[in-house]
Amino acid sequence: MRPPPRTHSIFCFRTRSSHKETIMKKHLAVLALIALLLPLAALAQEAPPPTPPPEAAEPVATKTTLWDLIKTGGWAMWPLGACSVGLITMIVLNVRMVSRKNLLPLGVVVPIRAAAEQRDVGQMYSLARSAPNLYTNGLMSGLRKLDPDDPAASKPAMESAIAEAVSREEAQVGFWINFLSLITGVAPMIGLLGTVSGMIGAFQKIGMGGMGKPELLAGNIGEALITTATGLTIAIPAMFAYFLFRNNLSRIVRDAEGEYSAVLDALTGAGDLFAEAEAAPAETEE
């Protein structure tokens, strides 16, 4: 029996091979298509927007009242409060005392001038006694030293008595002005003492492990700063008021001395200075 021809087996082998190649090509085409579509799909797909981080809650601002500052300042705020009350009291008292209306009133000076021109010592003494003040108290002391028989010879004694009396009156008025100077010196010292007290407390908390916790040191540092600021706030206006009242008193005393000199010259016959003073403006106008 003859074997089958070889051409038929070769044909079957070639057919199978071509079928496998066709399947491989289809697989490769599908893979290539997938490889092309994947980047396009990635580009087409939009990325979701990033979620914003949650906003931190803003701290609520709290109003600091005067009482809060006093409590933060600690014990030093109490003597400083007494100094502030004393400052206001002394300013009001000196405004009423250290004034020309109170120490050298024009309503008394003019009648005494007229009586001095007439050399009416009794009228001068009555006017001075009816309105006691710095000017009239000094004038009464001088009038007591007047010698009616020899007025010119008694002038030095009158001047000495007036100077002594005015010095006493000035010291009496200046007694209340000096309290302003006392407050000027004491208030910053109390504030400085409160500052030292606050810093001591801060260092004690640092020693106990509060270096990394500033909230523990805030109270003591606030005490140190508030007491210093309060002391200076009291001392600055006290110093201003002291020099203001002191200079005002000196100016009033200087004007009173000029009035005394004119009155004594008229009484002792040294010259009619009131007439000269009135004639000078008239000559100037001409």
3-state secondary structure the chain: CCCCCHHHHHHHHHHHHHHHHHHHHHHHHHHHHHHHHHHHHHHHCCCCCCCCCCCCCCCCCCCCCHHHHHHHHHHHHHHHHHHHHHHHHHHHHHHHHCCHHHHCCHHHHHHHHHHHHCCCHHHHHHHHHHCCCHHHHHHHHHHCCCCCCCCCCCHHHHHHHHHHHHHHHHHHHHHHHHHHHHHHHHHHHHHHHHHHHHHHHHHHHHHCCCCCCHHHHHHHHHHHHHHHHHHHHHHHHHHHHHHHHHHHHHHHHHHHHHHHHHHHHHHHCCCCHHHHHHHHHHHHHC
Neighbours of 202 (CB within 10 A): 20
The pLDDT tens digits along the chain (286 residues) read: 455 555 444 444 445 556 566 666 665 665 555 655 555 455 445 445 555 555 545 555 567 676 776 777 778 889 999 999 999 999 999 999 999 999 999 999 999 988 988 888 889 889 999 989 999 999 999 988 888 888 888 888 999 999 999 999 999 999 999 999 999 999 999 999 988 888 877 777 676 765 656 666 666 677 778 888 999 999 999 999 999 999 999 999 999 999 999 998 888 876 544 444 444 444 444 4
What pLDDT score does 112 carry? 92
What pLDDT score does 218 carry? 65
Predicted model pTM: 0.67
